[in-house]
Structure formats: structure tokens, C-alpha cells
Amino acid sequence: MFSMLLGYPLPDAPWVGWISPILGTVMYVWGGAPFLTGAVSELRARKPGMMLLIALAITVAFLASCGASLGLLHHELDFWWELALLIVIMLLGHWIEMRSLAQTTSALDSLAALLPDEAEKIDGDSTVTVAPADLVVGDLVVVRPGGRVPADGRVVQGSASMDESMITGESRPVRRGDGDPVVAGTVATDSGLRVEITAIGDDTALAGIQRLVTEAQNSSSRAQRLADRAAGWLFWFALGAAAITAAVWSMIGMPDAAVIRTITVLVIACPHALGLAIPLVVSIATERAARAGVLVKDRLALENMRTVDAVLFDKTGTLTKGAPAVTGVEPTAGTDEDRLIALAAAAEADSEHPLARAIVTAARDKSLSVPASSDFESSPAVGVRATVDGHIVQVGGPHLLDQEGGEELPVADHWRDEGAIILHVLIDGEVAGALRLADEIRPESRQTVHALHARDVEVVMITGDAEAVAA
């Protein structure tokens, strides 16, 4: 074929005629393997479809080409070139489809990464390090400050602010104590816990989320289902057309032509367009949606987007940044705003709590000079205490004020109505100011909402944060 197209002579040697059969056999066995195994599955399920039709075409082309090369069939049945081209085209469509699906594969990897590599199991009076997969229901484990829970369980000792954003999406830590349930992958931000394991492996909430993501990724679109159904009908039509061809050419007394044309019908019946066009369209649509910030996990949903008249948004991490930030500062008389943030950041510098990191980040973003601190102490559900520039600086919530006999600033009620987190800063026992912390709205989220409204699409938001609704 190439010598004819490019006009170069082939060597006059016996081995030249075996190049096509050898390479064609490799193509059929190796390149055609996905379609052959898929055809076996469709046969077992008694549901002929795309894979069976492709396997039929390449198998007939392979057998006919072998017969032609061995001199058993007519030389016109040499389909090595068509066989190779057919497999390449169908593999290209298969690869395009897999690449479009691979865009969401990282979601499963991210979920798996939420589990710790090791767990500290309590064995008598000591602890042993084991893999989370080796835990059984009833085991007691230690979750240290900043550590992740290795499996679903129940707190039997201790109290900690848990970062449960991987389950709920909410950036605000939730206090968990004796008897409260905890979920695999969540983080104890400020204190250690002892947890009794209540679910492992596929029974955990995280495993359930992974199953949902996997099912979404493996879903097929309506176009893909239509193509599979068409391929199933085309399989029977191809067999019927081949049988009619063989019968007609045999009845008119041309059995050799009957074999040639019957095999040709079976080869050309392979659904090139169905096998290549559907994955290509899905891939292009998925990539264009991804560039616009829409991650499509269910291809059926992609086709239904043209009929959308309402969009339901999860607030945290979607319309917002998903992490608390200092969004307001209220110093008392005689206290500078920047100094208040700097002192609070100095006191929180050694804390791993998400709110502490937000305060330290706020000082860094304002390029403030944060003084060194010493004698750091952290009290769960109360706050932190440290010595900064010779002053005792404390940062905490309502329990800190109750403990120190302080009064909330008047602005606290307004901030609380907006759903914000309020921390007060005390210097030498006196309230020096308050900090407002909340999840920030992404700038691009406003553009998205305005664009949807401009297209008469209703926007609905899931949130418990009054501030987000107002914004």
C-alpha cells in the first residue's frame, strides 16, 4: 500500500510478503485486545454493542487477511492495511474518551489522600503504629493535635475542634467531645483525642463518597447510550446483510465473489463514526466546560445543561474560598488596628487552629511586623495566651470573656447576626478589640452569579451563613 502511494519499489525477496501479516497480527492481538475483551463481556451479558461490532470487523478482517496471505482465499481479501487503520481509529476514539474521563480521576486521588498513612492504636498501656487498613471495629486509637482520624469512630476521651470541611464543606471547626462521632479524614486542630473505631473500610463515610464519585465518573451520556444501542442493532443488521450477500451471490453462481463480498460487508460495518465521534464530542465539550470552571462528572448532566433554568450552589469552597479569614477589626479606644492584629498574630503564632492561621495570614498580608512571643498556652474552647512585648495577650471567644470577666464590644451582636466568628483580644486582662472572621466570597463568584442572572437562570445557594446570602 505504501509503495503504491509513495511510488517506491519493494525488494524482490520472499520475506517482504510476510511483513504485513506479522505487523497485522501484532496489531490485532495487542491493539485489538480492549475490543476483543469488551466483546466477550457483551456476549456474556447477551447485550451486543459497540465492542462486539468492532471485534467482529477486526476478527473477520484478520482471518480473511491470514487466508489471503496463505493463499487459501482470494488476494482481494488482503485487509492488513484496513485492519491496522481500523484498530488505530477505534483506539484513538477510546483514548479520547478515557482522557476526558481522566479529568475527574484526581477527585478520587484527593479523597484517598485524606486518610493518614498510619494510625496509633492503643494496646494495653502503650501505643503501636499500624496501617488504617489493619484497624478493626472496637479498637482505640490516639488522634494527636493536627492529626487526621484514621476511620469513623466515637470520641471516648478528650475534646477538640474538628476540621470537618472535607465532609460538610464548612470551614468553621466543630467542637467534638466525649460520645460524639468523628469521621475518617477529619482533623483534630487543637487537642488530642482517644477514639473508638465504629466503622472501617467500605463502611466509612469517606468510602461512601468515593463510591459516589466513581459511579458518577463511570456514568455514560444519553448520546453514548444511544450509540451503544445503535451499535447493537447494527450488529444484527451487519450479520443479516452479510447473510443476504452470501446467499444472493451464491444463487447467481459466483461463490468466490460471495465470500469476498460477504467478508467485505462485515469489515465495513464497523462503526467508525459512532466509535470516534461520540467520544470526541464528549471530550471537547468537557474540556471547554472545564476551561469555564465547570467540572463535569456525569456526562448525562453535560447534555442536560442546555435546558438548565436554575443552578444550585454549595456556598463553602465553591462561591467562597473555603477557609476563614479576618474580615473585620474593631479596636477599642487607644488601640491601633494594625497593632491589635500584630499582637493577636504574635499570640496565635504557635497555634495550629484554623482561626489562628487566619489571623497570622491577615498580619502577613498587611505586611505587619509581628513581635516574638513566649510562654504560649492553649486552652480548648477558650483561647490562647502568650507574653508579647512584656504584655499578657489573650485571644479567644465567649468563654475567654467569661473567664476574665470581660464584656463583648457592641459590634459583636451585629457580626453575630451576619454569621461571622467573633474573637476578642485581651491585653493584660483588658479587652483591646475584637476580630471578625468569616469565609470570603470569591471575586469570580460574583461574576458567575451576575452572568447567570443575565441569562434568566435562577441561582439558589446552600448556606447557613447569613453574610453570604446578603453578599
- What interhelical angle do 354-365 and 337-348 show, nearest 10? 140
Q: Return the exposure string of 292-330: e unless at least 16 CB atoms fall within 10 Å of the residue's CB, then b.
A: eeeebbbbeebbeeeeeeeeebebbbebbebebbbbebb
Nearest to 283, CA basis, from 356, 234, 221, 350: 221
Single-letter residue type at 286 = T
Instruction: DSSP letter for 353, please.
Output: -
- Grid look-up 459590634 returns 411
Q: Return the exposure string of 184-216: e unless at least 16 CB atoms fall within 10 Å of the residue's CB, then b.
A: bbbbbbbbbbbbbbbbbeeebbbbebbeebeeb
Grid cell locating 81: 492495511
Q: What are the helix (H) ranges across 218-271?
A: 222-251, 255-268
Contact yes or no for 313/460 (Cβ under 8 A): yes
Grid cell locating 338: 494594625
Distance between CA atoms of residues 366 and 307, nearest Å: 46
Output Rg (C-alpha) for the chain, integer angstroms: 34
Residue positions annotated with a catalytic role: 314
Distance between CA atoms of residues 436 and 422, nearest Å: 5
Distance between CA atoms of residues 387 and 16, nearest Å: 88
Contact yes or no for 392/429 (Cβ under 8 A): yes
Tell me, what's the pLDDT at 254? Answer: 85
Q: Is 39 helix (H, G, I), strand (E, B) or coil?
A: helix
What is the largest distance, in Å, between two alpha-carbon atoms of the chain? Answer: 111
Tell me, what's the pLDDT at 180? Answer: 92
- Grid look-up 479529568 returns 103
Which domains, from first to last, does the chain contain? 2-105+217-286 (no CATH), 113-212 (2.70.150.10), 318-441 (3.40.1110.10)
Q: How many CB atoms neighbour CB 387 within 10 A?
A: 16
Tell me, what's the pLDDT at 28? Answer: 93
Contact yes or no for 235/53 (Cβ under 8 A): yes
Q: What is the pLDDT of residues 54-112, one digit of tens each?
A: 888 888 889 888 888 888 877 777 888 888 888 888 888 777 767 656 655 555 566 66
Ranges of the chain whose pLDDT falls below 70: 1, 97, 99-112, 169-171, 212-228, 231, 270-280, 282-283, 286-287, 290-295, 297-299, 463-471
Tell me, what's the pLDDT at 111? Answer: 64
Q: How many CB atoms neighbour CB 361 within 10 A?
A: 15
